[in-house]
Structure 1
Amino acid sequence: MSLTRFFLLFATCYFLAGPEAQASPAMSFANRASPAAAVGDTAQVVRLLKLAELSVTSKPDSALHYANEALTLARRRHRPRQEAEALEYIGWVSYVRGDYPGSLRLYQQALSVAQAAGYAKECARLHTYIGMVLQAEGAYPEALANNLAALKYYTAVRDTANLAFSIMNVAAVEYHAHHYAQAIAYYQQAIQQLKKNNDLEDLNASYLGLASVYTDMGNLGQAETYFRLGLDFFRRQKDRTNEAIVLNNLGEVSTKQKNYAQAHRFLTQALQLAQANQDASVTAASSAALAQVFFLQGQHDQAQTYARRSLALAQRIKARPVAKDACLVLANSLAAQRRFEPALAFYKQGKVLEDSIYGLEHTAQLEALRSQYQEYRREQQESAQRYRIQQLERDQRISRLTLTLVLGVGLSLLVFAWLGWRQYQATRQRNRAQKQAEQAAERVEQLQNESRLQQAEYELGFKDRKLATLALAAMQKGEFLHEVKERLDVIAQTADEEVRRQLGRLRLSIEQNGSSNKDWDQFRVIFEEVHPNFFAELQRQFPEVTPNELRLAALLRLNFSSKAMAGLLGISEESVKKARYRLRQKLQLSTADNLVEFMMRLDAASLSGTAAIKNQE
């Protein structure tokens, strides 16, 4: 019998749906309609999806109603992420009710929407759901292919939470295909990851998956312990769907222990819950399990009644593993009554179903998929090694770039000094010529004014260039320190505890001493020469502005990018965005006001005030 195999199909989907639904991905989708209507519709879709999430395991009819309303609204407003999520909920309800073809069609529609919109994470989750339906239909190679696609994505992006779920699904397929060693290895891998994540709920699901394997392997005592723990958990959560599945599993364990009274009690409870939930797949499985119990007790009429019900329902929902079990129970029961002709017919039908599930072609496909995944893992490891080599080469390039920058700055200073000396000599010659040309005083005065203007423009240009040079040096320093901190983080991941503490202290020291006040003081002196009274005017109008916000305002006046400001200030780009937001609040600017244009207008006002004062003098 394969009754325990139904647990992981539901439990995995249940736990996978929870975290993703709570994340409310639709909230981050950009509005395409008119602002007022779009915001209202978006909030309505999110509310409907949340209601569907809350009722999907306890009230499938309500969940279906909410999801259909959300789907209509999401399509009307062109919300692909919310459309895919609504299709997921509808597909789940169809799956629970045993409509496997309908569920598979809905999940594939959701996958098409997510792929067209480029939502990689949603695609990975939908591959998991499609694999779940294919498992129920007994299409194990196709199920494994979808689950491995999800596993590759979560491994690539290092999504440790969903990675554990994906590993559990791969383990489930291996279990269904009777590859118990591989199933146990994957379950243990998932358990290790879930322990690191401190995820007790999903850890429970992995233990129950292991219990299913132990049941088939004959380790019934350990399997029963895990199943009873799972039953208590689902009853506390009021999850009737998974409660029915675990009761079904306990019924199979009791049957193998030859405790038929207890098996009958568990399976009857599972059947009643499944029928109340309109859960066709568990209803079919429970009926087949009860048929097996009646057969073992010699009650052949009742065994055949339940087996025929199970077979009819399993054929309707295309659940080949359950249909196979029901055929074999019917064959054994009819043979016990010496009704050999119908018994042989059911036996042949069961063997045909069994061959379609576990045939040589499917076994070869599963082996090919395993080989492909192992090759993928090797490529990932080789890629990681190449990345480490590239990092070392990049560190060397940074060292050479730093040396080149120092030499360039030194050469620039020499050039500027020579130009200054030449300017000084030219000024002396002009003064001497001015004293000797008293008869041309008016002309000389005009020339002097022109010379002063040129000198002011030159000095302003010089200061602008010096300001840019200082900013570039500070930015390169910030980027270099950021690279160093990232390298320290990478080394800390593979180092022992003592080395990690030392690296942590070194990283903290870099963060505390990376930004030099001397650099800022030099930068501020030159900035105020180019933009006089900018800081004074900003503090006069907004006294609450902090020194750090003055630095940010200066960089905004120079129209630096967020990345450049992050390097200059020694902080992350995300911190720059937060600092801009706080500064905007203090300046009482709306979201429609441009912060850079405001700083330019402020600078222009300060320059106008300075010019007016000089004219008065």
Structure 2
Amino acid sequence: MNSKLRLFALLFLPFNLFSQGDPAIDSLNQLLSQHTEADTIRVNLLNELGVEYWVVDPKESEYYGQQALTLADSLSYTSGVAYAYDVIGVAHWTQGKYTTALDYLINALTSYQRLGHTLYAANTMLNIGLIYYEQKDLELALQFFQEALSKYLVFGDAINVATALGNIGNVYFDMSEYNRADSSFREALELYKKVKDPYSIALSYGSLGDISTVTGQYNQALMYYQQSLELSREIGDLHGIAITLYHVGKMYREQQKFIQAEEYLMQSMDVARQVNDQKQLQDIYLELKELENARGNYKQAIRYFEQYIALKDTLFNEEKARQIAELQTVYETQQKEQEIALQNERIQTLNQKARTDSLLRYGLILGLIVLGTVAYLILSRQRLRIRKNREIYSAQQALTRAELENAKLKEAELAQKLTFKSKELTSYTVNFIQKSELFEELKVGLKQLRQARSDEVSKKVSSLTRLVDQHTNIDRDWEEFRRFFEDVHQDFLEKLRETYPDLTQGELKLCALLKLKMNLKEAASILGISPESVKTARYRLRKKLELNKEDDLIDFMQNFEASDSATVS
């Protein structure tokens, strides 16, 4: 469902010192610079700055949230800690780091529940639900949305109730439960009308238009889309305008009204370019390809499809570059933290040694005074012996600590290398699958064109098909994949060959994919065969491995020579 999710910003907590409006960032920075005392007021200022930076600069938001968390924790300021968890969690979410975001938001939820802050717990539940929704985990998303709704109904807050209903409607839509989705959207719409929220009213009309379109009620869909479009234009919501125009164009294309479809899609493209909405442009190119294909303009359809693929590759490469940069940042941060910890440990050791030396020195002086001059020579020799023993002991202790620290650093480095290699393998596997799927999709499209065109075009399409076939040779890609795989799972394939010498090269490939827990569709895409062929290959593999019916093939691969994943080259 290509609609806009309402990003539910957290409400300010009761301990807030300022108004409920969003204060300017420069004003908050000025207040923070004036209030240098490490107290709860400073915690609140840091958290508010984190909230203001959510959309402007998520990394800055994360920075201020972390500062607030550290200070609040040192003050045992539980409300400030809970709020800081929320700030950091949403900051990670807006950067696309869903796993980390969920960790912080769940900590925030637990803290709010412990404090009895029911409303803020509901807000956090809604945000957690939105993350699960973006990850397509619809069951969990629905669970959190419904729990948040039940709490909002107790407070009677119309905006919060409507927001929860809208998100529940989105989940039902994606589950194809259109009656439930329609009911949720209509309830939300009535509440938004009561509070006079034009942005959300436009969003609700658009959602109702989507439902009418998929259920074939095109006249009703057009009415809803027009109402959404009028409101979006009134409030200047260019993203909303682009999305609504796109849906109207798509609806007309499904009705075979090609002239109207092209008109609305072109308008949507112009607006999307104004706001540089690359993902929306990608959807528009794909829909224009479908339009020209339906018209029989296959050359133009191919041009739009090429624009779609180019933009898709650009967005994919940008996302991959962002992920690599994040991995590098995490690695550098961990290195700095280790250096700081090592320096602190050295300082503590030196301070302890200084205190010990002082105590010993005073003891020796006192002993010399008590014993007097008669025992001077004896005590001097004893003190020299003690000092030498202490130096030997200190040297031995220092050597032992150095060896232990070196071992820990090597262990940490080994773990980091393993993590990086695993993520590198995962990234390459995803790219491998996407490449295979792209070529397969292009081949299918070319076959359709060959059946629908003249002999001359058919020859050209056949040439392009051969070109695609040449590029879909996955041998070289498989060698690259095998290299990444063996970096993470050393000797796995070699040990399989030694234990089961009858395994073919194709069966060894299948074993590697099972080691990565790939499903039938993913394995079929990489191996270049159908899912049914993968099933047959798995059945033959089980026989060669002499597995019983109750033995799980994937579990067998995970447990086979498990120690192979413990080392990294």
- TM-score when scaled to structure 2? 0.46
Higher relative contact order (CA 8 A, sep 6+): 1
- TM-score when scaled to structure 1? 0.43
- Which of structures 1 and 2 has the bigger CA Rg? 1
